[in-house]
Structure 1
């Protein structure tokens, strides 16, 4: 009796793993990394511009508020003028007007301190024809009648001249508006340069994959599908670059703010604070940086989308897709 024939059963073939769909635009290319760096630089410059505009606007507002709260009365020395009596008279006249909170005489010691950087220490004001000042604190909600004050001073103390700083305020506002306009124009130019860079990068990516894109388009792939692939790719690039540039800009603002607070009460810090405040852009500035980061990322994706759609429209010759 013979042994039964052994039947060999072929092992079941393992199921083939689903093929991973390759993106139309390869990720991690040298051109893509370079574009991330370019977008990061553009975003950094945009954030710095926005921060500078915010700093100038806030500082100008601070200057305007400080100047508008005070006026200055200057009494020039003249023959036969009793300076001390004239100061007291001016103080009494101005203090009687509604809208004036305080009229304060700048004493001899304070006047000498004001002049010491130019004329040195140990000044004898009796030997120099130095004007004396009266500082007038103004109620901003109900300012006084400056014309009436000038008329009263001209009648009682002709050597006294009132300066309400209106000329300085107007110049300050004009300067701040000009600076803000220049900053906004610079920001627009940087964003325009970013858009043009993305256009060139998108066209370069399409040129490297031109045959694949044309085949996909002619076999029925919709322009929206192809454009979405590019949009997704460049959105990721834009988000990476914009986030990096915005983060570096925030670090720069934090470092400047830390330096300003650490070096407070030094001559350098006092001069910088007098011109630019405390180098703090505030919550509005940081929110502006976040808006710039999001705007650059969206602009990058939108620009690539429009560029791809325009390219496909140019190659879509009527009747060719039906061949």
Structure 2
């Protein structure tokens, strides 16, 4: 009687033992995968672009803040002084005229002090225009008297101007620096307008970058969007998904750009304080102030980072709605 033995598991056919693996799903179709991935190369590139644009916009805003604050300091300094100019005249003693003008100025209400510029000091003021090493002794160089206004009393400059004209007709005149103050104000407003314009242009460029990135993401996820529509998802649901993802990208890029701008401004202020002891530092401080933007400037930089994030979210939502239509 022959021995009949049932086949064991090891004798099974190879096709049954080794079944082919199932094909892997695309990353955007896997379970729990986000509709718009934020860790892709395109997403990282968009975050880097937003960070760079935010950094440039924040630097422009910081520079405008420094210019406006420096102009404000200049205006405050110029507004605290007025100048009496005494011109040489034939047949008159210039030194006597200067002393008379000084006495009239000191007697006027609201004048805290007066300082007479010597002849050498008056001639030195012309060096930036005429150059140094010139003999100006034969030229009728006017003499100047710098008057400091009192902070607790209002000065009647019109009365002082009338008194100088009556006592020294054609010789003494009063300059209240109104023209310089107007020019400083115009310059400050111009810098502020240029800074605001550059910030708006950078935000517009950020919006354009987000538009192209959103349209690329929509084109790459067309199948997912069609499936969502098939299962009943409306356009608002899809737009919110894209808006949330792009808002996170914008928030990341805005935070990086604003943080880099804050660090740059703080470093510039530190270097300015280090250079302040030398003559170059004194000239820089005289022109641009202390490079301290203050809490207003830091708040503006943070605000620009937040606005960049909001612009990213709003533009992505608008682009998605237009694409779905």
Aligning the two structures, in what range does the TM-score lie when normalised by the shorter sequence? 0.7 to 0.9
SS in 2 for 1:143: coil
Q: Does 1:38 find its partner at 2:49?
A: yes
Q: Tell me, in whole angstroms, the C-alpha distance in 2 between the residues paired with 1:156 and 1:125.
A: 28
Q: For structure 2, which runs of at least 5 residues remain unmatched after alignment? A: 1-29
Tell me whether 1:288 sits opposite 2:300 in the alignment: yes
Given candidates 86, 108, 115, the residue that maps to 1:75 is 86
Alignment of structure 1 residues 83-162 onto 2, 5 Å: 83-108=94-119, 110-111=121-122, 114=125, 120=132, 128-139=139-150, 142-158=153-169, 159-162=171-174
User: How far did residue 200 of structure 1 move?
Assistant: 1.3
Task: Report the equivalent of 1:259.
Answer: 271
Paired residues of 2:38 and 2:44 also in contact (CA < 8 A): no
Candidates 184, 187, 191, aligned match of 2:199: 187
Distance of 1:116 and 1:182 partners within structure 2: 33
Alignment of 1:54 onto 2:69: no
Q: Deviations over 1:43-94 (max 9, x none)?
A: 0111011112211211111111111100011112222322222221111101
Aligned counterpart, 2:226? 214
Whole-Å Cα distance in 1 between the matches of residues 256 and 240 of structure 2?
A: 24
- Determine the structure 2 residue equivalent to 1:307: 319
* In 1: Cα distance, 2:85 partner to 2:63 partner: 36
Aligned partner of 1:15 in structure 2 is none
**271, 277, 280: which is aligned to 2:283?**
271
2:215 match = 203
Q: CA deviation at 1:311?
A: 2.4
Q: 1: CA distance between counterparts of 2:41 and 2:152? A: 62
**2:150 & 2:283 partners in 1: Cα distance?**
28
Measured in 2, the distance between the counterparts of 1:163 and 1:240 equals 54
> Matched residue pairs, number?
294
Counterpart secondary structure, 2:114: strand
Shift, 1:142, TM fit: 4.4
Distance in 1 (CA, whole Å) between partners of 2:135 and 2:101 is 23
Cα RMSD between the aligned structures? 2.2
CA change 1:194–1:87 in 2 (3 A) is same
Asked whether the equivalents of residues 123 and 141 of structure 2 are also in contact (C-alpha less than 8 Å), the reply is no
Instruction: State the shift of 1:267 in Å.
Output: 3.5
* Uncovered stretches (5+) of structure 1, i.e. residues with no partner: 1-18, 315-323
Q: Is the 8 A contact 2:115 2:146 kept in 1?
A: yes
Equivalent in the alignment of 1:63: 74
Encode CA deviations 1:216-258: one digit per residue, 9 max, x unaligned: 1232123333222212211221111111111211122122212
Is residue 70–residue 138 contact of structure 1 (8 Å, CA) maintained in 2?
A: yes
